[in-house]
Amino acid sequence: MDENSAPLFLTESELLELTGVRRASAQRRWLTLFNVPFRVNARGRVIVLRSHFVAQDQPKHSKYAAYVPEKT
């Protein structure tokens, strides 16, 4: 699934993987501790925008960028 077809929000399984907890109250505490913006929907589910974790403008020469060898 590429960036353009990814859901707008993190899935429940992604939220579980991120926080390490299942309960919405514990997820809210974890997200608050790490300053991750979120909302709670009408069903009480924690909602986190995927765009919070997707880099929009990465610098070309970052020390964290993946190494890509030049074609010769």
Per-residue pLDDT for 57 more than 80? no
Whole-model pTM above 0.75?
no
Q: What is the pLDDT of residues 12-37, one digit of tens each?
A: 999 999 999 999 999 999 999 999 99
Alpha carbon distance 64, 16 (integer Å): 26
- Tell whether the torsion through CA atoms of 6, 37, 18 and 23 is positive or negative: negative
What is residue 52's predicted lDDT score, i.e. its pLDDT? 87
By mean pLDDT, which of 16-30, 32-46, 48-62 is the weakest? 48-62
